[in-house]
A and B are shown apart, each in its own frame.
Chain A
Amino acid sequence: MSKAFVFGDDIDTDAIIPATYLVTTDPKELGARAMAGSDQPDFAKQVAEGDVIVAGENFGCGSSREHAPLALLGAGVSCVIARSFARIFYRNSINIGLPVLECPEAVDGISAGDAVDVHLATGSVVNTTTGQKFQAQPMPEFMRDIFDAGGLVEFAKQRLQSRE
C-alpha cells in the first residue's frame, strides 16, 4: 500500500532537488534531499519505500537535471501521478525507470495521506482510502518499449547490438 504525497502545479526541478545538492549522483544521497526545495521540505524524512507523489500540471519543469527523478527513486517513490509533466523530466523518468502516469482524474480524487494502489501495466490507479478507481493515460507505445526494456540504456544496448 502506497501513501500519497500531494503537490501543486509547476513543481520545478529546484523544488525536487535544489542545485546545491547536485554535487553527487548517488540516488540515496540525493533521495535524502528529495523535495527539499518544495513547500514540504521534510518530505524525504516522511516518505516510505513505495509511496507515490500526486501533483498538478507541468511536474518537473525547469532544469534537465536527471538528479530530480534519481532523487525521487532514491527516496523510495514508486510512481508520480500528475495532470501533466514537463518534457525533459518525463523523458528522464522513463529513461531511468521512474514510473510516471498522467491522470488528471486521479489527481482530483486523491488527497494527501490517502492509500493508493497503482498497477503500472494497466495504468489503473485505485484510491483504497475512498474506494475510487481511475484510469491513467497509457504511456505512449514507443516510451513503453523503452520502459519495458528496463530503461534507455538497455534499449540502447539492443540498438548497438542490432548494428553489429
Chain B
Amino acid sequence: MGMTMTEKILAAHVGRDVVRPGEIHFVPVDCVMANDVTAPIAIEQFERTGATEVFDPERIILVPDHYVPNKDVKAAEQAKVMRAFARKHRLPFYYEVGRSCVCHCLVPEEGHVTAGDVMVGADSHSCTHGALGAFATGMGSTDVGVIFALGETWLRVPESIRCVFRGEPANPYVGGKDYILALLGKIGVAGARYRALEFCGDAIESLTMAGRFTLCNMAVEAGAKNGIVACDDTTLDYITEHPGADPHVRDDDSVAEDIFRERRPPVVHQSDPDAAYCETHEFDVTGLEPQVACPHAPSNVKLVSQVAGVRIDQAFIGSCTNGRYEDLKLAADILADHPVAPYVRLIVIPASLQDYRRCIREGLDEVFVDAGGVFSTPTCGPCLGGHMGVLASGEVCVSTSNRNFRGRMGHLDAQVYLANPAVVAASAVLGRIGSPEELHS
C-alpha cells in the first residue's frame, strides 16, 4: 500500500521507509514559530525544561502580530518578554514591529518553510504552510517551548481525507475561500478532527499560492491536524521568489553580525495512487457561488444569495486567511468606483508586509481611504477581537477572516459572517451582505 504526502514527509523525517496512521513518532522540526500571545508561555516552559540554549537559533521564528503595535500595557509586557528572549538567545529571526506582519504571511514570504518541511507554530492557523507542500500544524505554547529546547516533537501520523476540487469557476470572484467554506459546510467543524486534509484536483492546480494559503489556512476549522497541497511549479516559483533576507544579529545597539542562513532545498512529495484515504470529498466548482459562513460557526455555510440583505455595521478585509495582495486587489477594484455605505466601517489591514508595501506602491491604500475605509499597518487586529475594530453588542460584521464563533470579534452578542474579499468589499458598499454583481446592475 502506498503513502499520502503527509505520511511521506513524516517518514522522511524519522528515517523510515514507511509510516502508517496511528503511529506516534518523535519528529525533527524544521521551523518553529510563535507570536506575541503564545511565545510568553512557550518561553516560560522552555526555561522550565532546564535547557540553557535553544536547539537552533535559525529555526525559531518569533513574530509580534496579534496585539501590535501594543494595544495596552499588558500586551506591551507580553511583547517585551518575546523581544528579551530573542536578544538573550541571539535569535536572528525575531521580526520587530514595522518589519513584521501576520505570522502566517511572514513565514513563507521570508523563506522559512519549504516543500517537504515539518513546520510547527504556536498558532492554530499554522496549517496555512501546508500550501507549500509541507507538513505544518498548530500546537500550544508548551509543545512549542519544548521544541525550542529539543528541536523535535511527538506526532501521531494522521489519517488523510482527500478533497478533490474540479472545474473552473464561472464566477470570477470565486476562489480558495469559497472552496474551503464549501468543504466546511459539508463536513462541519469536527469533520476532519485529528486528520490531514489533502487538497487536489485541477481547480487546486490552477489556484494561485494566495488561494492555496487561504485553503490550507482554514483546514483547522474542520478540526484537521494539517492541510496540504502538492508542491508543483506554482509552489516552486513562489519558493524561488521568496528566499528571505540574510539578517543581522545585534548584541547591543552597536555590534552587528551578518548571518548567512541555511536554505533547505524543497523536497517534493506526491501521494501514491494507492495511498489510503479514510474519506474522499469531491466538488465541481464550475457553478460554485460565493459562500458565506453565518454566525456562529465556520461550518454554518450558505450561498451569498441566501444571506444577501443582512445589514452590516462593519466590513473587515485582512487576516492570515485573506489579507494578501491578491485579496486586497480584488477588493480595491470593487471599491475604486464605489464608496462605502453610510454608517458602515470598512477596515482594511494587509496581513503581509510585502503586500502592504505593494498596496502603497500601487496606490491601493488611496483607493481604500478614498472609498471611506481605514487602511492600517499589518496586524491580526479585529480578527480575534483584539484591537483595531472590536464589535459592540448587536453589531454585524462581514469579514474575510476565519472564525465567527460567538464573541470572536468583540461583544458576545455581535454577529460575524465570513466571506471572500470581493463579497466583503461589495457588502461594505451596499451596507448589507451582497455580491459584487449587484453593483453592476
Contacts and interface: CB of A to CB of B under 8 A. Distances in A.
Interface stretch (B172-180, B320-328, B403-411, B432-440): B403-411
Nearest to B154: A142
Interface string B146-168: 10011000100000000000000
B67 interface: yes
A122 interface: no
Interface of B: 24, 37-38, 40-41, 44-45, 48-51, 66-67, 72, 74-75, 77-78, 121-124, 126, 138-143, 145-146, 149-150, 154, 189-190, 193-194, 223, 225, 297, 384-386, 390, 403, 405-408, 412
A62 B48 CA distance: 27
B37 A37 contact: no
Contacts of A78: none
A67 B390 CA distance: 20
A116 interface: no
B223 A87 contact: yes
B40 A25 contact: yes
Given A14-B384, A20-B386, 17 more contacts: A22-B386, A23-B77, A58-B190, A62-B403, A63-B384, A64-B121, A64-B139, A66-B38, A87-B225, A92-B139, A92-B142, A95-B140, A95-B143, A96-B142, A152-B146, A153-B48, A156-B146
A86 interface: yes
A152 B37 contact: no
Nearest to A24: B74
A112 interface: no
Interface of A: 10, 12, 14-15, 18-20, 22-25, 37, 41, 57-58, 61-67, 70, 84, 86-88, 91-92, 95-96, 142, 151-153, 156-157, 159-160
**Most B Cβ at <10 Å: residue of A41, A61, A151:** A61
Contacts of B194: 87
Closest CB pairs A-B (n = 7):
A23-B74, A92-B140, A58-B190, A37-B407, A66-B140, A64-B124, A19-B384
Contact of B49 (A41, A58, A66, A160): A160
A95 B51 CA distance: 17
**Most A Cβ at <10 Å: residue of B40, B150, B194, B408:** B408
B37 A156 contact: no
A156 B149 contact: yes
Interface of B is mostly: loop
Contact of B37 (A15, A65, A88): A65
A70 B140 CA distance: 11
A20 B386 CA distance: 6
A61 B138 contact: no
A24 to B, nearest CB: 6
Contact of A62 (B44, B74, B78, B124): B124
B386 A25 contact: no
A91 B150 contact: no
A38 to B, nearest CB: 8
B190 A88 contact: no
**Most A Cβ at <10 Å: residue of B24, B385, B405:** B405
A96 B48 CA distance: 12
Contacts of B412: 37, 41
A89 to B, nearest CB: 8
B256 to A, nearest CB: 32
Nearest to A37: B407
A95 B150 contact: no
Contacts of A61: 189-190, 223
Given A25-B41, A58-B190, A142-B154, A15 B405 contact: yes
A157 B45 CA distance: 11
Given A24-B74, A57-B190, A160-B51, A88 B138 contact: yes
B50 A160 contact: yes
B385 A64 contact: no
A54 B146 CA distance: 30
Nearest to A163: B150
14 contacts: A15-B407, A19-B385, A22-B66, A23-B72, A23-B74, A58-B190, A62-B124, A62-B405, A66-B141, A67-B41, A88-B138, A91-B140, A91-B143, A152-B143
